[in-house]
Copies of this chain bind each other. A is one copy, B any other.
Amino acid sequence: MNIGEIARRSGVSRSTVSYALSGKRSVSEATRQRIQAVIDELGYRPNAAARALKEGRTRTLGLVVPPPRRRLTPAQLEFVAGVVEATDRADLDLLLSPSGDDHDRSFERIVGGRRVDGVILMEIRLDDTRVRRLQGLRLPFVTIGRTARPQGMSWVDVDYAALIGRCVDHLADLGHRHIALVNRSAELLASGHGPAHRAKEGFADAVTRRGVEGVEVGCADDVAAGEACVQGILSAHPEVTAIATINEAALPGVQRALESAGLDVPGRFSIAGVTARHRAEQFHPQLTAADVPAVDMGATAVDFLVERITEPDAPPRRHLFVPPISLRNSTGPVPAPR
């Protein structure tokens, strides 16, 4: 069921069939219809591999996701969803590559075998070997998050520093003088995870700027860690009355720890964060948070990537998302001391 078969059955040459399909040269209406009829009858679709070989492009995008073994955060999930949808809208296909920091088999298959026209890289490190590999191959790519020196590359990112700063501002405005940052894990921080680093910096800046006391603690990405982490804060720093966090996965644990400590939110304790809207609304009470626009980010990443593919010489595109903080019910004035 190849183009030759169609050509034979409609009594024309292969090239005519191709032109009828692509419209790149004129074909008389009569033969066009004849060809189309045969195609419809046989249900013919051009073979993607043959087309890719000849055209030198695959009409496929690659999405490099963190190995799903350790669960993705809600924002990452939404980001993937945004990429999937936007890729589909652009009439492109999407190849998934689960791969960690160092480029492994899957990454190499996709990228070395030129199975994709471009790549979206999630969970980037400040210094990332995969980025260098892609640059070496001159394969278009877009990162979600920035490396330490993002000049000359296309990326989308969330301004964690600014957002954590705003959380601190908001809490300080409410009178809180002792604020804890529940960051992501110390390991991630050590491995050069951008958001963890920038949250840390943004927190430190805001805390000095507002003249309040800040304590930063690392916390693994699961509810048990969140619970333990908050218990630690409450016992080691009983003066703390508010938490700011970027650790989405820990949130249910944070909630549980506050509950079992008998700390009413927002009556006796406040919490603000940066997370996917969905997660914020699932918190109890609903979480005052900067809602990371992950779906939009995914769509934007696809747009940028398509642009880099079609116009490799255009200047790189970048976008730093700074979503507003949505006031919900998890923050309130500092409680009167008793």
Contacts and interface: CB of A to CB of B under 8 A. Distances in A.
A96 interface: yes
A85 interface: yes
Contact of A282 (B47, B60, B80, B223): B223
A94 B93 contact: no
Given A49-B52, A88-B106, A108-B45, A80 B68 contact: yes
A45 B105 CA distance: 12
A69 to B, nearest CB: 7
A41 interface: no
Closest 3 CB pairs of A and B: A68-B81, A45-B112, A48-B113
Q: Which of A52, A68, A94 has the most CB of B within 10 A?
A: A68
A328 interface: no
Given A47-B114, A53-B53, A91-B109, 5 more contacts: A65-B84, A69-B81, A71-B278, A88-B105, A223-B281
A48 B115 contact: yes
A333 interface: no
A67 interface: yes
A85 B98 contact: yes
A46 B112 CA distance: 8
A53 B45 contact: no
A284 interface: yes
Chain A interface size band reads: 35 or more
- Chain B CB count within 10 A is highest, among A43, A53, A65, for A53
A188 interface: no
A168 B110 CA distance: 48
Interface in A45-71: 45-53, 58, 60, 65, 67-69, 71
Given A85-B69, A93-B106, A114 B49 contact: yes
A95 B94 contact: yes
A192 interface: no
A316 interface: no
